[in-house]
Amino acid sequence: MTLKISIPTLIVVRHAPVDQKYQGVCYGRTDAVLGPEGEQLSYAVAEELAAWGNATIVHSGLQRTRFLAERLAAQLGCSATTCEALQERDFGTWELQPWNDIHAQHGDEMLRMVSEPETYRPGGGETTYEMRDRVVQWFESLPNADLTIAVTHGGPIAALLGSQRRLPVTDWMDLIPRCGQIVPIHKRATEQE
């Protein structure tokens, strides 16, 4: 009898919580730092991820992802590299504006990120599909033989999962993991006797 065992090609992790000063603020590509809670959670998540053993470790290059990636790399005795394809959505002029102010100024126009994913640029930034395309292209370039652990952001993770599952963009919000959550992604299966 042949049993198929699914081996993750990729483990994505959403960064830990950012500093309190960013709560309620749009910080997409902004290099928001972790707060004490985020740093503490990063150490715990790094320890949990280290159990997977040898892996290629990548992060978006922003401090909130690099902190965890470097802790994990130190535990595994390797290095962590930057991959800009993993950065959060670019929100253009909305960056560092309170979400309440953005809503007061733009109202339900914000929903166009979901209803017009191919053309709407929040704050003049990046469309939903541009974000999706860069993350999916990166994922498709991963080798099948090795495990990659990527520390990234909620938007790219949701876009990758939604694309893999062929879900409409309207369902992607439900795929955003909580801060520090580990999400294995399977690209292949191997057979065991």
Tens of pLDDT, residues 74-133: 999 999 999 999 999 999 999 999 999 999 999 999 899 999 999 999 999 999 999 999
What average pLDDT is seen over the chain?
Answer: 92
Domain that holds residue 167: 3-192
What is the CATH number for 150?
A: 3.40.50.1240
Tell me if 89 sits within 8 A of 125, measured CB to CB.
yes
Order of strands, sheet of 148-152, starting from the edge strand that comes earlier in the sequence: 80-82, 56-59, 148-152, 3-14, 182-192
User: Would the pLDDT of 191 be above 70?
Assistant: no
pLDDT of residue 7: 57
pLDDT of residue 146: 83
Calculate what percentage of the chain has a pLDDT beyond 70. Answer: 92
Query: Who has greater pLDDT, 145 or 114?
Result: 114
Q: Domain total for the chain?
A: 1
Question: Using CA atoms, how far apart are residues 92 and 33, in angstroms rounded to an integer?
Answer: 19
Strands 3-14 and 80-82: unpaired
Question: Taking the CB of residue 87, how many other CB atoms lie within 10 A of it?
Answer: 23
